[in-house]
Structure 1
Amino acid sequence: MVIYTAVLVIGTFLLGYLIGKKHGWSAGYQAAEVVVPLIMRQQSLETGKCNICDAMWINTPNCESFSRDLDTL
């Protein structure tokens, strides 16, 4: 009887772990879908070139190339 109870408890914890892991992965992907385009756009603006095709789209002198870091705003 003790063995059945132990197996039931371990099985319950395993099931909870698997459900939580699946939920965590799906929530992580949803968060990444929102954040990654913003990060790519920020990096593009900071470097002055497209991160996808490496095309230079801005030519500024060194005195005007300041950081466009959104965290400092």
Structure 2
Amino acid sequence: MNAKELHDKTPDQLREELATLKKEQFNLRFQQATGQLENPAQLRIARRNAARVKTVLNQKAASAAASE
């Protein structure tokens, strides 16, 4: 997932994506705690994807506020 794809989505779609990523992050943390996580890099990827979505959401909110 890259930022260009995220810019094309609506804020509602971005919020849904963020919720999905948070669930994925929780599941990965749970797997890590129980010793079942095979690829620890997945945690980092999930965290960064969530941060990307939050950044795009904040950018869209700022541009909406500036245009008013």
What's the TM-score, normalizing by structure 1?
0.40
Tell me the TM-score normalised to structure 2 length.
0.43
- The structure having more radius of gyration, on CA atoms, is 1
Higher helix residue share = 2
